[in-house]
Amino acid sequence: MRLSALALILVAGCATQQPVQKEAPAAPAKEVAAPPPEPPKFVADLKKPMPPGLDEAAMDLSADPCADFYQYACGGWMAKTEIPADRPLYSRGFVSILERNEALQKTILEEAAANKLPEGTAFAKQLGDYYATCTDEAGLEKALPEVKKFIDQVAKVKDAKSLATSVGTIHAAGFRPFFDIGAIQDLKNSTEVIGSLDQSGLGLPDRDYYFDEDKKTVREQYKSHVEAMFGLLGLPAKDCQRKADEVMAIETRLAKVAQTRVERRDPNKLYNRINRDGLTAQAKDFAWDAYFTAVGAKDLKAINVNSVPYFVEVAAIAKDTKPELLNSYLTWVVLRSTTPALPKVFQDEAFNFSSKALTGAKADRPRWKKCVAYTDGDLGEALGREFVRRAFGEDGKARTSAMVESLQKSFEANLASLSWFDEPTRKAAFEKVTRMVGNNKIGYPGTWRDYAKLTTSRTSFFGNSLAANRFEVQRQLAKIGKPVDRNEWLMSPPTVNAYYDPQKNEIVFPAGILQPPFFDRAATDAVNFGSMGMVVGHEITHGFDDEGRQFDVDGNIKDWWSASVGKAFVEKASCVKKQFDGYTAIGDVKVKGDLTLGENIADLGGLKLAHAAMADWYAKKGDADSQFRFSRSQQFFLGFAQSWCTKVRDETAKVRAATDPHAPPFARVKGPLGNLDAFQTAFQCSEKAAMIRRGADRCVVW
């Protein structure tokens, strides 16, 4: 434990008992110099206009930006903003854009349901059928027999072989008992697409919810919820309680062997290409031939298993668990997965559990909002085509492309200056970032997904949802053994997010995020660099965070770092982990510095790169100094912070602290800024300012 300076002085004074000495004559008093005054708090010149793109009403100008920049940038917004009743959180950036996108998607889908989309709109029938049946709440009230029929088909296990067949049939329908199946690029040969088996099957947010003492109440609420849902199926109360116990027993067994979220951040721990023969040998008590036939991948041989011990336990469960317990579990997985297609009483029960235990939301989401989300999930690129046509301008794509190029140059300039890099590692990093930026995707796919084989109708949302699930499962399995599709997107165009794919070594920015406040055509370049430029820099840096750095330029797990440079990186990253371990998410729940490490490194690097790119951008433009009340650097940091203004319900904050690889928004603002010289200079912060990190506590990675 570190002691304060005062404590150290007191301990030193009492360490040993000294002989009593006579008092010496008092010396003449000397004038003690007064300590130097603290620099005054930064005060903006309110006579000058606000820069376009910043919201003065969102700010708390009475706050000290060097003590709490999140309060300074967002305090006004925080004070006046209420979280909508149907949301677990609300943000000035992500959620406000989501709501605008949601409204436009609703308009498109209502037109599709009414057969009023422009003539020739691709897959208009599928969109219209899906949304029309999803919003037909009267139709949902008649859906239970259809769902029960499916449950009766798949939850009649008698032995190990019938279990494997049932699990395969359920997986083919898009639900995930016990584990999940999909297609991935081989982590050590990124040109090859192979099968993937991964842990799944839990009904609570994370494995730790089944064991941690502070989550005992949530476990009890979950068990009561399972009982209630079985009751809605029409089972007697005593059977509901027994089945809930059986579900908890199986899920707890799975949780005990599941990898932690921190373990899953290490790609080497996820790579076990044992193929079909190895899987059959090590998890021999599961009837794999029957499973692969039922799921639609009878001849699949090339397989990566993310965790061998997990699948050994799945096989043990298949061998030693009574069929009635397995049927209870399979019924539950299907029931909870199909709740969106069931009568309102099922949806109300699901909301009551999630509200009390997990989200804190005060009202369930309106049906149309749910249906927009479901349609985007199942027909994202069909909906995205019309969304892009109406909402995304090519000028936004051009300006974002220019920003990406400027961030690449910023990364390269920074890389050239890093004294802890040697030349071979530096050369490899140059090659990786050059390829990454060359692979960037902005706005929407160049080749749209084909939904022609997805058959829909106006009679059943459950039927349409099931058809969409089966379409996607077969689409994934069909990729195995074929060349990597480098045109594929992992997010739909309306998505308010961005990502870096380490195996394709590409950065992707959907049209959905390229809107205010992240990207504002009317804002100053400085504000846009702080908001959207930081996002670009963040994704670039992901290629060199603690996970991304383990992949080479071709997307393969490979240690391309020299020993000394790798050691230096680990030391620098440990500083970031320690810093974020020190933040409190809510109450006595701390931020997990190891879980959030990659995102925190990306935030820190992204801000540094984007600020340097902004400075270079203005130098080339040759503009005079800004006439606004904030300098360019100040605009940059305010543009960044105001895109992260967020209010979160307590229940949601607890779940996110346990499961989210991102730190809370306040920490994502204050954390990286306290390490940046450019921020300290911009707001004239003293070394003693609360947010400024000093000496060995200052973290610098990229």
Which tens digit of pLDDT belongs to each residue from 320-349? 999 999 999 999 999 999 999 999 999 999
Tens digits of residue pLDDT in 425-441: 999 999 999 999 989 99
Q: Out of 3.30.420.40, 3.40.640.10, 2.40.50.140, 1.10.1380.10, which CATH number does the structure's domain 144-342 have?
A: 1.10.1380.10
The CA-based diameter of the chain, rounded to the nearest angstrom, is: 104
Cα angle, residue 505 at apex, residues 503 and 510 outer, rounded to 5°: 105
List all residues 6 or more positions away from 664 whose beta carbon is below 8 Å from its beta carbon.
Answer: 583, 585, 586, 591, 646, 648, 653, 656, 657
In this structure, what DSSP letter does residue 531 have?
Answer: I
Is the separation of the CB atoms in 460 and 147 below 8 Å? no
Decide which of 640 and 27 is more confident: 640
Q: What is the pLDDT of residue 625?
A: 58
Q: What is the pLDDT of residue 259?
A: 97
44 band by pLDDT with thresholds 50, 70 and 90: confident
Domain boundary assignment for the chain: 56-102+376-448+458-467+483-697, 144-342
Which member of 539, 546, 552, 651 is catalytic?
539
**Can you give the pLDDT at residue 39?**
58
Per-residue model confidence (pLDDT) at position 297 = 97
Q: What is the pLDDT of residue 420?
A: 94
State the average pLDDT over residues 401-412.
90
**20: pLDDT strictly greater than 50:** no
| Of 378, 552, 603, 651, catalytic | 603
- CB atoms under 10 Å from CB of 598, counted, come to 22
CATH topology of domain 56-102+376-448+458-467+483-697: Collagenase (Catalytic Domain) (3.40.390)
CB 66 within 8 A of CB 634: no
pTM for the whole thing?
Answer: 0.90
The mean pLDDT of 69-96, rounded to a whole number, is 96
491's tokens: 């997010």
> Tell me: the pLDDT tens digits for 138-166?
999 999 999 999 999 999 999 999 999 99
Q: Indicate if the pLDDT at residue 15 is higher than 50.
A: no
pLDDT tens sequence across 500-535: 999 999 999 999 999 889 988 899 999 999 999 999
In tens, the pLDDT along 188-217 reads: 999 999 999 999 999 999 999 999 999 999
Give the tokens for residue 546: 């603690």
User: Taking Cα atoms as reference points, which of 661, 552, 561 lies closest to residue 187?
Assistant: 552
Residue 468 has pLDDT above 80, yes or no: yes
Average pLDDT in the 47-56 region? 93
Is 229:342 a contact under the CB 8 Å cutoff? no
The average pLDDT across 94-120 equals: 96
Residues with Cβ within 8 Å of residue 288, at least 6 apart in sequence: 164, 276, 279, 280
User: Mean pLDDT over all residues of the chain?
Assistant: 92
pLDDT score for 37: 53
> For 356-386, how does the pLDDT look when each residue is reduced to its tens digit (9 = 90+)?
999 999 999 999 999 999 999 999 999 999 9
Q: Is the pLDDT of residue 319 over 60?
A: yes
The pLDDT tens digits for 388-400 are 999 987 777 888 8
- Identify whether 64 is a catalytic site residue: no
In the residue annotation, 603 being an active-site residue is answered as yes
Q: How far apart are CA 73 and CA 528, in angstroms?
A: 16
Q: Which of 297, 30, 352 is nearest to 172 (CA)?
A: 297
Average pLDDT over residues 263-268: 96
Positive or negative, the CA dihedral 571, 498, 671, 676 is positive
Side-chain half-sphere of 25: how many Cα atoms within 13 Å? 2
Mean pLDDT, residues 441-453 taken together? 95
